[in-house]
Amino acid sequence: MTSSDDAVPVWEQLSKDPRDPQYAQLRASDQDRAIVSQVVADAYADGRLDREEYDERAESVLSARMLGEFPPLLEDLLPVTGIAEASGKDFPAQAERSYRRGLRARFTGFASTSAITGAIWIATSFMNGDPYFFWPIFPIVGTGIGVVTQLINKRDVIEDEVRHLERREQKRRQAIESEPGALPARPIVAPTQQHLARHPHSRDQRRQDLREWRAQRRDDRRRN
């Protein structure tokens, strides 16, 4: 589920990205703990953690209350960088950049419209010797209103863009989860000390212990 070969990064499988400071103090769900527990279990099965390290981290994961407690437990198992650098999901910053692009585009339109229509008026107005009605005022005012509106409604424009980005990201995640091999609706919680009675001496043995524990869990669910 959470190995390095997975198409969906671990951080995107959680309810919120714990690397983002605005989500670090949110309460973790059972599913969040299950996902992180699986990362620790996979590292143990791969031989990257010894038994003592595994038991300590698995216990810390299962007792974690806040999302922000997960990154320190995985910092030597997964890339734990800032959310903006890791996933490009810093929606407020993206929305701010989008707003600035939009403002520049409106101002460019205003400036070019003013220059072009003004030049045409000058060229045609003085051909007859006397200037006539300054008709470029209409397109100039129209494009100028667009610039002023963008400036006045900056906050609303950025908030709307953030919501748009969040909806697009949600649809992307739903599309990923609908594909084969995506995150199961009820993830299996990784085993702790009471589930692993023997001390494994090889990667195959560790994986075998995990398979046996999962098979036992399936049997228990069928009986219940």
Split at pLDDT 50, 70, 90, the class of 113 is very high
Contact between 140 and 117 under an 8 Å Cβ cutoff? The reply is yes
In tens, the pLDDT along 150-191 reads: 999 999 989 988 888 888 877 776 765 565 444 444 444 444
Instruction: State the chain's mean pLDDT as an integer.
Output: 77
Q: How far apart are CA 213 and CA 117, in angstroms?
A: 77
CA distance 156 to 210: 51
pLDDT at 134: 87
Q: Is the pLDDT of residue 95 over 80?
A: yes
Task: Let me know if residue 40 belongs to a domain.
Answer: yes
Residue 189: the pLDDT is 45
Task: Report the distance separating Cα 67 and Cα 36, nearest Å.
Answer: 10
Confidence band for 47, pLDDT divided at 50, 70 and 90: confident
Cα dihedral 204/210/214/217 (nearest 10): 140
Residue 207 CA to chain centroid, in angstroms?
31
Q: Are residues 79 and 117 in the same domain?
A: no
Q: Are residues 116 and 82 in the same domain?
A: no
pLDDT > 90 in the chain, percent: 20
Nearest to 38 by CA among 3, 69, 63: 3
Residue 112 forms part of a structural domain:
yes
User: What Å distances lie between residue 143 and 62, 97, 133, 140, 192, CA to CA?
Assistant: 58, 21, 19, 5, 65
Grade residue 27 by pLDDT with cuts at 50, 70 and 90: very high
Chain centre to alpha carbon of residue 46: 27
Cα(16)–Cα(73) distance, rounded to whole angstroms? 17
According to the model, what pLDDT value does residue 218 have? 67
In a domain, 144, yes or no: yes
| Residue 42 scores a pLDDT above 50 | yes
Residues 18 and 77 in one domain: yes
pLDDT at site 148 = 93
Q: What is the pLDDT of residues 58-73, one digit of tens each?
A: 899 999 999 989 988 8
Domain boundary among 100, 130, 152: 152
Q: What is the DSSP letter of 7?
A: S
> What range does the domain containing 219 cover?
10-88+185-223
Check whether 86 has a pLDDT greater than 50.
no
